[in-house]
Amino acid sequence: GCMLHGKLYPLGHIERTEDCYRCSCSQTEMSCCSIFSTPVAYDKENCKVVFNEKSCDYDVVQKNDPSKQCFEVRRV
């Protein structure tokens, strides 16, 4: 298997790790890429970015009320 951040993963394709990466584990190497996108175009004055571990993505929420989402967000 392959070790990533102290956790052992089996050989082969790993659809989602605990810290939101998709990986491929072979006997000689492990390669991973993130499965989340980063918001870049949002109202930075009134909104903030919060990582959502459940969905493995960033939420853009209102600074004065984090229970409400901000809209018109583009991701890269």
For residue 5, the model assigns a pLDDT of: 87
Domains in the chain: boundaries: 2-34, 39-75
Return the pLDDT at 62: 94
Contact 36, 16 (CB under 8 A): no
Per-residue pLDDT band for 75 (boundaries 50, 70, 90) equals low
- Checking if the pLDDT of 76 tops 60, the result is no
The string of pLDDT tens digits covering residues 10-69 is 999 999 998 899 999 999 999 999 998 888 888 999 999 999 888 999 999 999 999 999
d(Cα 27, Cα 9) in Å, to the nearest integer? 12
pLDDT score recorded for residue 38: 85
pTM score: 0.67
What is the CATH architecture assignment of 39-75?
Single Sheet (2.20)
